Amino acid sequence: MRKKYDYDPSIAWGGWFINWVVRIFIKPRWTVWYINRLLGFLPWVKPTRRHLERSKISIEGYEGGKVNLFIYRPHKRKKDEPALIYFHGGGFYIAAQPHHFDFAMDYATQLDCPCIFVDYRLALEHPYPVGVEDCYAALEYIYQEAEALGIDPKRIAIGGDSAGGALCAAVAQMARDRGGPEVCCQMLIYPATDNRADSNSAITCETTLIFDAEHNRTMWEIYLKNHNGGDISPYAAPSRANSFKNLPPMYVATAEYDPLRDEGIDYARKLQEAGVEVVLHQTQKTFHGYDLFKKSAVSQKEMKKRYAFLKRHLHRESAA
């Protein structure tokens, strides 16, 4: 019998529709290859909002692969602007969807600064570590070319949703461990952080909307492929790190009826215990991807919290 969940009415009907689309077009793996090919055209046909300009840069990713960066920024440019680098969700193996580009434009608008959207390679053809290394390459490029891009290298933030949250957390750890660029803050939205999928929410959220326990297991199986043994790198599953010290300030948002809820909370607590500044917002009566429905009160309230956190760190005076 299908479990009943007390969803917020303002997002429930939309969630059921998206859930139907996911189960028909995304859940069967053989369809995803075709869906990704179609979504690959999206960056070229998705309209850019009038008050923003968009540019594209192609950089060298992991082992010489090509990675596209799409930069959304307000028309009125400023000198030494802060910037947000954004890693989209999609289970590591599904291409960026329309709402991901909308989020990037929202951040550029609300934060009044560039938002760099990273079109990393996907796990169906490029399993771990390609995606996360592509994302780290994007951070390094933006940092190294900050002056040419008009960006303040001391005010670069990173963020992502779902699998993008995992990539964000991993990139923050990589930058610390490798002596790489200093990240001023990180934003994780209902992040995937632990491939073991043994938390209470990972087990009990069997029939939740859009993303359920089965989707969670499939995601890690595809992403890790030949790496899904005993020793998993924290750059794949950030919760498995040996140390959580000296990481950037972090914002974490979780959804009540989401398999990833408990691991997001657990990751936030690990960083808090390590002395990292953490803001944790646990939304209620929500499911994974609830913020697709931007007009709902729960989404608007949560988005305001994200913007406030990012503004506080991005718009502080440069230490330069």
296 given a catalytic annotation: no
The secondary structure element, H or E, covering residue 308 is helix 297-314
- E strands in the chain: 52-60, 66-74, 81-87, 115-119, 151-161, 185-189, 250-257, 278-287
- For residue 104, what are the contacts with CB-CB under 8 A and spacing of at least 6? 70, 72, 86, 115, 117
Tokens of 85: 């680098």
162 given a catalytic annotation: yes
**Are the C-beta atoms of residues 301 and 293 closer than 8 Å to each other?**
no
Task: For the chain, give the number of residues.
Answer: 320
Q: Rounded to the nearest 5°, which phi and psi values hold at 293?
A: -100, 80
Tokens of 30: 């053989």
Rounded distance, CA 303 to CA 297, Å? 10
Among the options 106, 134, 161, 258, which is catalytic? 258
- For residue 26, what are the contacts with CB-CB under 8 A and spacing of at least 6? 32, 35, 94
Among the options 119, 152, 162, 194, which is catalytic? 162
288 given a catalytic annotation: yes
- Residues forming the active site: 162, 258, 288
